[in-house]
Chains A and B, each alone.
Chain A
Amino acid sequence: MIPVCLTTALPPGEATRIEAEEPIAVFNVDGDFYAIDDTCTHQDASLADGWLDGCSVECPLHASCFDLRTGKVSGPPAKTPVRTHRVVVQDGMVYVQPGITADGAA
Chain B
Amino acid sequence: MSPTIAVVGAALAGLSAARALRDQSFDGRIVVIGDEVHAPYDRPPLSKEFLAGTASLDDIGLGAPDDEELGLEWRLGTTAVGLDRVSRSVLLSDGSEVRADGVVLATGARARRLPGSEGLGGVHVLRSLDDAIALREDLASASRLVVIGAGFIGAEVASTARKLGLEVTVVEAMPVPLAGPLGAEMGAVCAELHADHGTRLLTGSGVAGLVGTGRVEAVELTDGTRLPADVVVVGIGAIPNIEWLADSGVALGNGVLTDARGVTNIPGVVAVGDCAAAWSVSAERHVRIEHWTHALEQPATAVATLLGAEGAVPASVPYFWSDQYGARIQFAGSRREDDVARVVEGSCAERSFLVVYERDDVPVAVLGMNQPRLFTRWRRQLRSAVPAPS
Point out residues on A near B: beta carbons under 8 Å.
45-46, 49-51, 60-63, 73, 75-77, 79
Contact = CB atoms under 8 A, between A and B. Distances in A.
Interface string B366-384: 0000001101100110000
Interface string B90-106: 00000000000000000
A49 B62 contact: no
A62 B376 CA distance: 11
B372 A75 contact: no
A57 to B, nearest CB: 10
Contacts of A63: 292-293, 296, 319
Contacts of B64: 73, 76, 79
A46 B63 CA distance: 24
Contact of B380 (A45, A51, A77): A51
B17 to A, nearest CB: 14
Contacts of B379: 51
Counting from the closest, the 4 A-B pairs by CB-CB distance are: A49-B373, A60-B372, A60-B376, A77-B42
Contacts of A45: 372
Contacts of B26: none
In this complex, which of A49, A51, A60 has the most chain B Cβ atoms within 10 angstroms of its Cβ?
A60
A71 to B, nearest CB: 14
A62 B296 contact: no
20 contacts: A45-B372, A46-B373, A49-B372, A49-B373, A51-B376, A51-B379, A60-B372, A60-B375, A61-B328, A62-B44, A63-B296, A63-B319, A73-B64, A76-B42, A76-B296, A77-B42, A77-B60, A77-B62, A79-B61, A79-B64
Contacts of B292: 63
Interface of B: 12, 42, 44, 60-65, 292-293, 296, 319, 321, 323, 328, 330, 372-373, 375-376, 379-380
Contacts of A76: 12, 42, 62, 64, 296
A53 to B, nearest CB: 9
Chain B: interface secondary structure? helix
Given A51-B380, A76-B42, A76-B64, A46 B296 contact: no
Contacts of B323: 61
Given A61-B321, A76-B42, A50 B296 contact: no
Given A76-B12, A76-B296, A77-B60, 9 more contacts: A46-B373, A49-B372, A50-B376, A51-B376, A60-B372, A63-B296, A76-B62, A77-B62, A79-B64
Contacts of B296: 63, 75-76
B298 to A, nearest CB: 13
Contacts of B61: 79
Interface centre among B65, B330, B376 (most CB of A within 10 A): B376
A76 B39 CA distance: 15
A61 B60 CA distance: 16
A63 B62 CA distance: 13
B126 to A, nearest CB: 18
Contacts of B42: 76-77
Contacts of B372: 45-46, 49, 60-61
B301 to A, nearest CB: 16
Nearest to A72: B66
A61 B319 CA distance: 11
Contacts of B65: 79
Contacts of A60: 372-373, 375-376
A62 B321 contact: yes
A41 to B, nearest CB: 11
B367 to A, nearest CB: 14
A72 B376 CA distance: 21
A79 B379 CA distance: 24
A61 B327 CA distance: 11
A63 B42 CA distance: 13
A73 B12 CA distance: 16
A11 to B, nearest CB: 14
A49 B376 contact: yes
A77 B60 CA distance: 8
A79 B65 CA distance: 8
A60 B62 CA distance: 19
Nearest to A81: B65
